[in-house]
Structures are given as C-alpha cells and as structure tokens.
Structure 1
Amino acid sequence: MGIVVTEATPARVAGTMPVEGNTQPFGVLHGGASAVLAETLASIGATLHAGPGRAGAGVEINASHHRPGTGATITGVATAVHLGRTLATYDVVLTDDASRRICSARVTCALRDLR
C-alpha cells in the first residue's frame, strides 16, 4: 500500500499513501485503498491510546467517497472523537495533492489486550 505515517499521537494520526499501485483498472484510487488508509491511521491512534500490552483493531468503518482520487499522493488525517476504555473512534479525512477532500471516513476500534 505504501503508507507512510508522518505524525502519530492518540488524538491525531497523519500519513500518506501513493495513488500509483492502489488504483482501479481505469486509473483512479480504489475506494478500498482509501478505507485501508483510514483504518490504518485510526488503528495506530487507538493502539497509542490503548497503552502497553494493548492494541486497537478496527471493528467498524464507513467511508464516503466524494471525488476520484488522482494525482501522486493521498494524505489522511485521523482525529479522535472518542477515546474510551474499550473503544476509540476517529474521523478521518483524505485529501488529494490539491488539498481537495476525496473521502470522509469514521472508524471505530476495539481496544484489546495482546495477551
């Protein structure tokens, strides 16, 4: 997928993903790739929030695709809306190289013990 995390705290996680290699047959970003980026960023934030010996795993995602993802790179920012004891929820905004919103997603992660 080529995801690169550029910022990571429990409250906010940012990263990028190339469009090339993550496209549908006709050359635009695959919607599933957008969902992968959104869930990856949210899961990283949830794991940071969960603390040592625990991890966040996506249990629900919804994504609205506003425009085709084109250009070289997609940028995602996941912002926490709820950081609880057993669940963490993030709003994720994905934008293209021209800073146009291509996708809005909401991801909920369960916080679980790794043992």
Structure 2
Amino acid sequence: MMFNREKILEVCEKMSQNTLMQTLEIEYIDAGEDFLTAKMPVNPRVHQPMGLLHGGASVALAESVGSAASVMFIDSATQEVRGIEISANHLKSKKEGTVFATAKIIHKGRSIHLWEIKITDEEGSLISLCKLTNMVLSRK
C-alpha cells in the first residue's frame, strides 16, 4: 500500500468527530510511514485544579494519537484497534499554549503494536513520555 499523508490525516480527523478527541480539540497535523503527530491546546478545558495540564488529558492525547497511528497499519474493513495498556511519565508542567504528541512505532506485529509517544511543548521540551500497547482484532 502506498503511503498517503493527506489521506491519513483526513481519516484521523474524520474518526475524531463527536468524540473525546474533538472535545479536547486534538488535531492531527503530520504523518509518516512510521509516525503520527497531533496537537492539543493547553487551556482551562484540560487543566487540573492548580491550573496545569492534567495528566489525564496528556494520556488521552497519547492514546488518541497512538491508536490512530495503529489504524495506518491495518485493514480497517476487516480489523480494528484496541488500546490495552498505556503508561505515562509526566516530566514537566504546562499552563498554556500547545502540546504536540508524536507516536513512533516500536513493534509492529500482526496482533500487537507497541508505540512510544512523546508529548512536547512549542520549544520541543519533553512534557510526558508514554508507551501504548494496542491489540489488533478482527472486526465482527
């Protein structure tokens, strides 16, 4: 299958309609043969009570981009993806601006995909480092 960046970004945006991704204003902005990048604004919508980026919002961003990235490697007519494990290390806080999540494939098996997702700020500083395991299932 020929890689088509624009088509992948279009599919990701379409999948996000009326979902948590739309609520969090996650936007898919770049794709390559082994990665997918999305951005999310940091504002009161994703803050915890102290006015900082909520760790759960970071994890939601990471799982969203990692799961969407797995869709690039499956036949969506016959297969679907389920996140089965995610871990996150939050390394730096963020009050406002934008964060960027890039999922890069670590392992691409027939039934398991393992992703590393780095969440960075506008200057490229690492905010969170996440690892996501997805299972590829047959569509019923």
TM-score bracket, shorter-length normalisation: over 0.9
Pair 1:45-2:69 in alignment? yes
TM-score scaled to structure 2, two decimals? 0.78
How many residues are aligned here?
115
- Greater strand content: 1
Shift in Å, 1:97:
2.0
Which residue type is aligned with residue 16 of structure 1?
Answer: K
Q: TM-score, normalised by structure 1?
A: 0.93
Q: 1:86: which partner in 2?
A: 111
Worse-superposed segment, 83-92 or 43-52: 43-52
- Determine if the alignment matches structure 1 residue 19 to structure 2 residue 49: no
- Following TM superposition, by how much is the alpha carbon of 1:9 offset from its aligned partner in structure 2, in angstroms? 4.7
Single out whichever of 6-15 and 57-66 deviates more from structure 2: 6-15
The amino acid that maps onto 2:132 is V
Range with greater deviation from structure 2 (6-15 or 84-93): 6-15
Rg comparison, structure with higher value? 2
- 2:99 pairs, out of 49, 66, 74, with 74
8 Å contact kept, 1:71–1:97: no
Percent identity between matched residues is 28
Q: Which moved more, 1:3-12 or 1:23-32?
A: 3-12
Q: Which runs of 4+ in 1 moved over 4 A?
A: none
Report Cα offsets for 1:57-102 as digits up to 9, x if no partner: 1100000000112331110100000111001010000011222101
How far did 1:10 drift? 5.6
SS at 2:85's partner residue? strand
Q: Which runs of 5+ in 1 are unaligned?
A: none
Q: Which residue of 2 aligns with 1:63?
A: 88
Relative contact order, higher structure (CA 8 A, sep 6+): 1
